């Protein structure tokens, strides 16, 4: 079985430690655990990992958040991965910091990366793991907030929350989305 696991974020050093790049951080942690180095490839950085007999293509699109769909579609087609075997990991302002929620389909929730993926794939029927980043910003400051770095308090538990997010990836690729949601949503 082959899976495409996409961590959303923006390329470049200045975005590395921002809330918007949590998708990158999660796939990087999973790749590290599997000893799977990232390589620069077409439309992103890609790592090939193996987990319990499954082949996972880990993708960090380099198209910037708002054009993520192009990279997702390219790697789905190139690796011949069906829609039901893709998982998109993204930040979510609607969830409190560190809360993780997997869903099998849904709206973009105002997230430009998800909006572009849905436009390119022409469907909302794909799995996503939303990583809560909270909404501790004043009106009109949303962009600055998601492109801002983690607070000192958030940094204290960020690594543990990322580890739990990697458990969602393991579950998605082995026991399926239903059991993974049952076992891990809200943890």
Residues with a known catalytic role: 20
Query: Concatenated DSSP letters for 100-152?
Result: EEEESS---TT-HHHHHHHHHHT-S-SEEEEEE------TT-HHHHHTSBPPH
What's the CA gap between 163 and 142, in Å, rounded?
A: 26
Closest CA to 103 of 178, 173, 170: 178
Instruction: Please classify residue 31 by burial: count the beta carbons closer than 10 Å to its beta carbon, then call 0-12 exposed, 13-18 middle and 19+ buried.
Output: buried
């Amino acid at each position: 079985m082959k899976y495409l696991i996409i961590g959303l974020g923006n390329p470049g050093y200045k975005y590395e430690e921002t809330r918007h790049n949590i998708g990158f951080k999660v796939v990087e942690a999973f790749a590290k655990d599997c000893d799977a180095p990232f390589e620069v490839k077409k439309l992103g950085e890609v790592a090939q990992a193996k987990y319990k007999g499954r082949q996972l293509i880990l993708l960090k699109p380099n198209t910037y958040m708002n054009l993520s769909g192009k990279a997702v579609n390219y790697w789905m087609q190139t690796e011949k991965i069906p829609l039901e075997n893709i998982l998109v990991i993204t930040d979510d302002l609607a969830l409190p910091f560190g809360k993780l929620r997997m869903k099998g389909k849904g709206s973009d929730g105002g997230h430009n990366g998800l909006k572009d993926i849905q436009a390119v794939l022409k469907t909302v029927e794909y799995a996503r793991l939303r990583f809560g980043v909270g909404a501790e910003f004043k009106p009109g400051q949303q962009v600055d907030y998601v492109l801002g770095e983690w607070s000192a308090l958030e940094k204290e538990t960020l690594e543990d929350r990322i580890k739990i997010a990697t458990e969602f990836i393991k579950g998605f690729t082995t026991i399926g989305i239903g059991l993974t949601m049952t076992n891990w949503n809200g943890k």
